[in-house]
Amino acid sequence: MKLFKIGMPVFLIALSIVCFFASLNLPRANLGNANGPIYFPVGISIFLFIFSVIYLVQEIKSLHDINEKISELFSGRTPLLVIATLVLGAIYALIFESVGFLVSTIIFLGLLLFLVNGPKKWLVNISVTLVFSFLSWYAFSELLGVSLP
């Protein structure tokens, strides 16, 4: 928990430093003020750094305060659900164009429903998957004229 609490401000400080140097290294403009494109990102990076340091100090002061939400994130099925959703989403992204909308959506939604709703409710999961996949394909592709793979 402490690592998570401290981790965020430290990450933000590191991010602001990276952003600062990346902003300084941006190409200069050929038209108008050469430094025009860098002013804003440089300024933002500096302010982000300042507020991240204040945030770090605040977190250090309240290091022993319990954030129940952080505990909940690592308890029960939550970590599995979060990680599996992200992984399934990445797989969906990889197969979406090659396999096509309908098949990839049936696989993605079906697996997600089995994961979240549990295998015991297989009939509901399969019905919802098929109905919503076809319905969304029909609504977007046929009614709204969206070109789907």
Which residues form the interface with another protein (CB under 8 A)? 5, 8, 12, 19, 22, 26-33, 36-37, 39-41, 44-45, 47-48, 51-52, 54-55, 58, 67, 69-70, 72-73, 76-78, 81-82, 85-86, 89-90, 92-94, 96-97, 105, 108-109, 112-113, 116-118, 124, 128, 132, 136, 139-140, 144-148
- If the CB atoms of residues 70 and 103 are measured against another protein, the closer one turns out to be 70
For residues 37 and 25, the answer to whether their CB atoms sit within 8 Å is: no
- If the CB atoms of residues 2 and 40 are measured against another protein, the closer one turns out to be 40
C-alpha distance from residue 24 to each of 1, 16, 21, 73, 94 (Å)? 35, 12, 5, 37, 35
- On the 0-12 / 13-18 / 19+ scale of CB atoms within 10 A, 129 is buried
Please report how close the Cβ of residue 104 comes to another protein at its closest, in angstroms.
Answer: 10
- If the CB atoms of residues 31 and 64 are measured against another protein, the closer one turns out to be 31
Nearest to 24 by CA among 12, 40, 42: 42
Please report how close the Cβ of residue 41 comes to another protein at its closest, in angstroms.
Answer: 5
- On the 0-12 / 13-18 / 19+ scale of CB atoms within 10 A, 12 is middle
Please report how close the Cβ of residue 9 comes to another protein at its closest, in angstroms.
Answer: 9
Please report how close the Cβ of residue 131 comes to another protein at its closest, in angstroms.
Answer: 10
Tokens found for residue 87: 């992984």
- If the CB atoms of residues 14 and 94 are measured against another protein, the closer one turns out to be 94
Please report how close the Cβ of residue 29 comes to another protein at its closest, in angstroms.
Answer: 3
How far, in Å, CA of 118 to CA of 116, rounded?
6
For residues 100 and 141, the answer to whether their CB atoms sit within 8 Å is: no
